[in-house]
């Protein structure tokens, strides 16, 4: 792994991946729109990944051992990547998500629960609209995987990340719970909240670094051992805050980590390939401490 291209990834755990690659001796090229500076010591190319001509121009004459795609959300973006990076790399790693399983139930789910060869690809849908992409996040990621898995020109792998907690999390999801518990406000949950899979910011960065240097293809689930449901998360926050038990209600829009189905993931494939996962109990106190310091 001598020459790596990272698309996006200039914030949150993506920045940590870039720094791990750089510090590990890889030559790193970061491609983004220029809205965020790349870390020191890497090559920075400015191009919009949705602009195929601009992306092709920016990459002219360049090839890579590995590409890590942190911001592929739609089948259109995946199709562009197939055309632009075909012949430029031997390995393509896409950061994907647990949400590819969001229509399923009965976890923990293995990777084969989604048959990429059977996923209908709908490039005609309005993927250019940000609101549509947000609303169809899991569907877009699933279709993007299907497009890239069909590319014979490079070894494709997808890393299906569990819900990520910790670090410079810009989503505000954990802050939502901390604020409501501190205020004694009720937390809106499903009537029977179900567990899901989580991973911390450091572990997902470590796994992406590992995946870049590995040789497996296809999807791997990336999650710590020990699934959590929303009440377990709130109990841990309440204890750290020193507040009484969290108050729950089913009246209103449900909070971010309340789920009405069990689509947690089985991480056995990545473990068998050589990645050692932590348990959520090992890192949740650290993540909660970080979150409380910011609220």
Per the CB < 8 A criterion, the answer to whether 57 and 47 are in contact is yes
CA dist 295 and 291 (Å) reads: 7
Whether 277 contacts 270, CB under 8 Å: yes
Give pTM, 2 decimals. Answer: 0.93
pLDDT value at residue 197: 96
Per-residue pLDDT 10s for the chain (295 aa) are 589 999 997 777 888 999 999 999 999 999 998 877 888 899 999 999 999 999 999 999 999 999 999 999 999 999 999 999 988 999 999 999 999 999 999 889 999 999 999 999 999 999 999 999 999 999 999 999 999 998 777 899 999 999 999 876 667 788 888 888 988 899 999 999 999 999 999 999 999 999 999 999 999 999 999 999 999 999 999 999 888 888 999 999 999 999 999 999 999 999 999 999 999 999 999 988 887 776 5
Integer Cα distance of 95 and 205 in angstroms: 10
pLDDT tens digits for range 217-239:
999 999 999 999 999 999 999 99
Q: State percent of the chain over pLDDT 90.
A: 76
Domains along the chain with CATH numbers: 3-294 (3.40.50.720)
* Euclidean distance between CA atoms 228 and 71, whole angstroms: 26
pLDDT given at position 168: 67
Distance of CA 141 to the CA centre of its chain: 10
Say what the pLDDT of residue 295 is: 58
d(CA 142, CA 264): 16
pLDDT of res. 173: 85
Q: Residue 97 in contact with residue 198, Cβ under 8 Å?
A: no
């Amino acid at each position: 792994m001598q020459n790596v291209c990272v698309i996006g990834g200039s914030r949150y755990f993506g920045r940590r991946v870039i720094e791990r690659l750089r510090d590990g001796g890889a030559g790193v090229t970061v491609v983004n729109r220029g809205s965020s500076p790349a870390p020191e010591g890497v090559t920075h190319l400015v191009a919009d990944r949705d602009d195929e001509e601009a992306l092709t121009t920016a990459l002219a004459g360049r090839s890579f051992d590995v590409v890590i795609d942190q911001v592929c959300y739609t089948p259109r973006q995946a199709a562009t990547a197939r055309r632009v990076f075909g012949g430029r790399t031997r390995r393509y790693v896409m950061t994907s998500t647990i949400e590819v399983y969001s229509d399923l139930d009965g976890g923990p789910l293995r990777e084969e629960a989604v048959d990429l060869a059977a996923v209908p690809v709908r490039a005609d849908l309005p993927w250019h609209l940000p609101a549509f992409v947000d609303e169809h996040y899991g569907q877009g990621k699933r279709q993007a995987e299907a497009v890239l898995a069909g590319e014979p020109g490079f070894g494709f792998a997808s890393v299906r990340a569990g819900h990520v907690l910790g670090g410079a999390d810009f989503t505000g999801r954990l802050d939502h719970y901390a604020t409501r518990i501190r205020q004694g406000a009720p937390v809106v949950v499903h009537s029977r909240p179900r567990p899901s899979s989580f991973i911390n910011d450091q572990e997902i960065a470590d796994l992406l670094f590992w995946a870049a240097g590995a040789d497996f293809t296809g999807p791997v689930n990336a999650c710590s051992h020990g699934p959590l449901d929303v009440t377990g998360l709130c109990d841990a926050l309440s204890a750290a805050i020193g507040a009484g038990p969290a108050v729950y209600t089913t009246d209103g829009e449900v909070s971010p980590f309340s789920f009405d189905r069990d689509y947690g993931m089985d991480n056995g494939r990545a473990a068998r390939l050589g990645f050692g996962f932590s348990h959520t109990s090992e890192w949740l106190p650290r993540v909660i401490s970080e979150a409380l310091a910011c609220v």
